[in-house]
Structure 1
Amino acid sequence: MKKRILIADDDINIIASLKYVLAEQGFDIIAVTTPQSVLEHLEQQTVDLVLLDMNFQQDTTSGAEGLQLVSAVQRIDANIPVIVMTGWATIDIAVEAMQAGAKDFIQKPWNNERLLSAIKTQFALAQSNQMAERLNQQNKLLTGQTQLADENAIVAYSAKMKELMATLTDLAQSDMSILLSGSNGTGKSMLAAYVHSVSARAAHSFVPVNMGAIPESLFESEMFGHKKGAFTDAKENRIGRFEMAEQGTLFLDELANIPLAQQAKLLRVLEERKYEVVGSSKSHDADVRIISATNSDLLEQIANNQFRQDLYYRLNTVEIRVPSLAERVEDIPYLAQHFLQLFSVKYHRSCPALSDAALTKLQQYDWPGNIRELSHLMERLLFTSKKAVIDSQDIMLTANGERENSLDDPQLTMNEIEKVTLIKRLAFHRGNATETAKSLGFSRSGYYRRLAKYELD
């Protein structure tokens, strides 16, 4: 996408010369002749750099108008680099301009190489600062969430999974929206990360968002960002998820939990490929690839007027159903050993093996909690089994697919009891997050906060 430069000078000959030099370099140029026009343009559209004269018709020598304009630009958006120009160059004006927020100073008549070098330097610095800010915001918001996955991290020995991985690898080469459906705990988030990692967008950010954990009142702020002072608690600028995922992939997990009012706002962004930061009227381009996931029947929700049909069709250019763990029994031994090895490294413990009888027991269980349930079981076994080989009697499962009750253990802490209860209740409701939250008396956001607390999300 072309970089957009706003030129401000009251001399049309200067503007013509600058436009000729900069257009040849592939820049998109906007030219104005008054300070007021500069501010109006910045309020209405996105600009990557401002190149402005220090003197206009009211005052042609002191640079006062230019200094005031630099300060005004900074108040609108302190991240826009400003380069000032004047034919009345003095050290004092240069120092004052830099103190007001200008990033560089060019004397007229200018040298083209010096001018282009200054502009390109500011673009490079701005890009570096934006990336640092995005990473900082991502670290704050996404701690503990899905990391990028490569093909080696995904266990796929069964025919169903081999077919699924081949399909996703092909789809990754396109830019179409993908909807991943299937029960909770089937690994949809890891598969979304894999698609990103083998796509043309892999060099940019993969940003997962748990839509069920975002309070309705903060939806726009979380997704599109906000400006400092946009509302009572907006004490600093905040980057939204769309900006974090710029040129990368935005993963919308728990899609069915988006309230209807917010679905309309999301649909508008997906249709127009533009969004506004809360507290700003400027439109930003949304260059992101969308992958979404749900464990709900969206067609049923559409019939019940709980989900917008137009949003559904916008998000599922292609829909891929992820099989449950019970449908890929051949993968269970490999997954179980994979998790044991991961947790043994995490907790600095020796990694036990699984006996044939233990593997048979695992394969006979129906896994209502899917891969997530298997992962938690292997983590627990690493601590409860002190043997080099885990046998079938060490695995606390019953034949009808329900984990044996472990709440009677008098050594459990309150947090451990709450975690076990969450796991058991989620398994009872077959992974249905809405029913699980309702049965426990939690709000949707409260339920997801507890999942995150116990690393169950």
Structure 2
Amino acid sequence: MSDAAPRILVADDQPDVLEALRLLLKAEGYATEVVKSPAAVIKAVEARDYAMVLMDLNYARDTTSGQEGLELLQKLQAIDAALPVVVMTAWATVDVAVEAMRRGARDFITKPWDNPRLLAIVRNQIELGSAVRAYRRLEQENQLLRGTGKSGPTLIAQSAAMRPVLDVIARVGPSDANVLITGENGTGKGLVAQALHAVSARAGKPFISVNMGGLPEGVFESELFGHVRGAFTDAKADRAGRFELADGGTLFLDEIGNIPLSQQAKILRTIETGEFERVGSSRTYRANVRLVSATNADLQAEVAAGKFRQDLLFRLNTIQLHLPPLRERREDIELLAQHFLKAHVERYRKPITGFDESALDALRSYSWPGNVRELDHAVERGVLMASGKVVRGPDLGLTAGQATPRIEEMSIEEVEAFLIKKTLARCDGNARKAAEELGLSRSAFYRRLEKYGL
């Protein structure tokens, strides 16, 4: 739901009842839509998002039993079980009231109604419905956060090369401007996105991240826009997408250059209007998100090659922020290494106090094709391999200044990681070029980068 007035759908086959309820609810600040039949209720709920439904149980087909309304209740539950529905009837019986509640109604009103009681029920049910939806979003958001294992941003940057980055974060972060972060793989684009969110007015709202590089095309729409139960074989329950989870907050689209051309129009429409549909549903939802994107590709070149929409690029890069590779900010290497050391020492509960001189020399002399992510991975390996109270050079597993390891002495995973590092270095950190040289799909390549900490 947006910050606009709560939208209520009122259903009754009597025009005077509809008009009376419309005027009553409008005076209380609600946006009200009225319909006259069960079919119109279904059509409206499938097309739009409502804070609640206030509906009669009896229509032209059957004016006394309430059966038509009870059937409608079941259909509404199947569409959206979290949608609050309050039923009305002039033919009230205890049995009908009990059956309506059993089929999903949140409350029951008899005609003629008492205005204060009706308004109190409406207010309470809208608040409860909003709380239920917020809880469900929070539950799914927490599942995403547990999957990443990440907490708040810790941006370590004292080098001259990073000062322009810090300046842009300070000036642009508090705004709602869309930001496109560019830079080689592993430079910390996700951390900068979190920093932009942390200094914005949306800081208390969700920060939702999705790696477009590792997203198979078959689940693209479901991941971003959500799906309804039964939309496809494994859709056993309704599921909110990333846009919906990020409502009010920031959505970070990492590796944005990997969006298939066939899907770019759908992303563009949602960015422009805030509207989208879940897979398997025609209902239109709205989400108010601040978009931060990241890529290591040259999107202008992709536009020229017909692989990326120029109008989408215009929407993404209101502000463009470039992150330098780690080899251009060597003053930060030791600071970052100490930060990662502290984190991994706590994680693995090892009595390690620091690096010896050989380890520091290895850290300074290495070329870091995988940038900050590779540094983190190397320090973690050093903590695990260290046998004393300090991490030594060989513990880090770096090859700078050493002979190239013999292939026959390496495991398959070590060979693969070594080959990816060498290819990344040869391609100046450009993951797309490296993937092409290695004959891997982009999603397969990004999965390996994540696996090996590159």
| Deviating more after overlay: 153-162 vs 243-252 | 153-162
| Deviating more after overlay: 268-277 vs 17-26 | 17-26
Aligned 8 A contact 1:227 1:236 in 2: yes
Instruction: Give the C-alpha shift of residue 112 in structure 1.
Output: 3.2
Aligned residues: 451
Flag the 1:2–1:456 CA change in 2: closer, same or farther, 3 A.
Answer: farther
Q: Does 1:199 align with 2:197?
A: no
Q: Residues 135-154 of structure 1: matches in 2 within 5 Å?
A: 135-141=138-144, 143-145=146-148, 147-150=150-153, 153-154=154-155
Among candidates 132, 136, 155, match of residue 133 of structure 1: 136
Among candidates 2, 6, 11, match of residue 3 of structure 1: 6
The TM-score normalised by the length of structure 2 is 0.90
Q: Residues 164-175 of structure 1: matches in 2 within 5 Å?
A: 164-175=165-176
In the TM superposition, what whole-angstrom CA distance separates every residue of 1:202-248 from its partner, at most 9, and x where no partner exists?
A: 22211111111111232222211122222344333222111111111
Aligned 8 A contact 2:51 2:130 in 1: no
Residue in 1 aligned with 2:329? 328
**One-letter amino acid of the structure 2 residue matched with residue 127 of structure 1:** S
Flag the 1:428–1:213 CA change in 2: closer, same or farther, 3 A.
Answer: same
Provide the C-alpha distance between the structure 2 equivalents of 1:408 and 1:336, rounded to a whole number of angstroms. Answer: 31
Instruction: Give the C-alpha shift of residue 440 in structure 1.
Output: 4.1
Instruction: Give the C-alpha shift of residue 348 in structure 1.
Output: 0.9
Q: Any stretches of 5+ residues in structure 2 without a counterpart?
A: none
Aligned 8 A contact 2:176 2:290 in 1: yes
Aligned 8 A contact 1:146 1:189 in 2: no
In the TM superposition, what whole-angstrom CA distance separates every residue of 1:106-134 from its partner, at most 9, and x where no partner exists?
A: 22333333323322332233233323333
Residue in 2 aligned with 1:442? 440
Instruction: Give the C-alpha shift of residue 319 in structure 1.
Output: 0.2
Residue in 1 aligned with 2:238? 237
Provide the C-alpha distance between the structure 2 equivalents of 1:379 and 1:187, rounded to a whole number of angstroms. Answer: 17
Aligned 8 A contact 1:147 1:193 in 2: no
Q: Does 1:14 align with 2:17?
A: yes
Instruction: Give the C-alpha shift of residue 15 in structure 1.
Output: 2.3
Flag the 1:229–1:396 CA change in 2: closer, same or farther, 3 A.
Answer: closer
Aligned 8 A contact 1:4 1:29 in 2: yes
Provide the C-alpha distance between the structure 1 equivalents of 2:221 and 2:424, rounded to a whole number of angstroms. Answer: 29
Flag the 1:317–1:110 CA change in 2: closer, same or farther, 3 A.
Answer: same
Q: Residues 21-170 of structure 1: matches in 2 within 5 Å?
A: 21-141=24-144, 143-145=146-148, 147-150=150-153, 153-170=154-171
Provide the C-alpha distance between the structure 2 equivalents of 1:446 and 1:232, rounded to a whole number of angstroms. Answer: 24
Aligned 8 A contact 1:179 1:292 in 2: yes
Aligned 8 A contact 1:180 1:293 in 2: yes
The two structures, once aligned, show a CA RMSD in angstroms of 2.6
The TM-score normalised by the length of structure 1 is 0.90
Instruction: Give the C-alpha shift of residue 99 in structure 1.
Output: 1.5
Flag the 1:114–1:451 CA change in 2: closer, same or farther, 3 A.
Answer: farther
What is the percent sequence identity of the aligned residues?
Answer: 45
SS in structure 1 at match of 2:148: coil
Flag the 1:284–1:406 CA change in 2: closer, same or farther, 3 A.
Answer: farther
Provide the C-alpha distance between the structure 2 equivalents of 1:25 and 1:367, rounded to a whole number of angstroms. Answer: 62
Residue in 1 aligned with 2:180? 179
SS in structure 2 at match of 1:85: strand
Aligned 8 A contact 1:6 1:31 in 2: yes
**One-letter amino acid of the structure 2 residue matched with residue 436 of structure 1:** A
Flag the 1:52–1:399 CA change in 2: closer, same or farther, 3 A.
Answer: closer
Provide the C-alpha distance between the structure 1 equivalents of 2:22 and 2:361, rounded to a whole number of angstroms. Answer: 74
Aligned 8 A contact 1:79 1:126 in 2: yes
Aligned 8 A contact 1:148 1:190 in 2: no
Residue in 1 aligned with 2:210? 209
| Deviating more after overlay: 5-14 vs 89-98 | 5-14
SS in structure 2 at match of 1:19: helix
In the TM superposition, what whole-angstrom CA distance separates every residue of 1:57-103 from its partner, at most 9, and x where no partner exists?
A: 44333222221222232233333211011233221111010122211
Q: Residues 223-234 of structure 1: matches in 2 within 5 Å?
A: 223-234=224-235
SS in structure 2 at match of 1:116: helix
Q: Residues 256-271 of structure 1: matches in 2 within 5 Å?
A: 256-271=257-272
Provide the C-alpha distance between the structure 2 equivalents of 1:217 and 1:14, rounded to a whole number of angstroms. Answer: 47
SS in structure 1 at match of 2:91: coil
Residue in 2 aligned with 1:456? 453
| Deviating more after overlay: 355-364 vs 296-305 | 355-364
Aligned 8 A contact 2:354 2:389 in 1: yes
SS in structure 1 at match of 2:181: strand
Provide the C-alpha distance between the structure 2 equivalents of 1:28 and 1:270, rounded to a whole number of angstroms. Answer: 25
In the TM superposition, what whole-angstrom CA distance separates every residue of 1:315-364 from its partner, at most 9, and x where no partner exists?
A: 00010001211222221111110000000011111233234564355334
Q: Any stretches of 5+ residues in structure 1 without a counterpart?
A: none
**One-letter amino acid of the structure 1 residue matched with residue 434 of structure 2:** T
Flag the 1:386–1:110 CA change in 2: closer, same or farther, 3 A.
Answer: same
**One-letter amino acid of the structure 2 residue matched with residue 405 of structure 1:** P
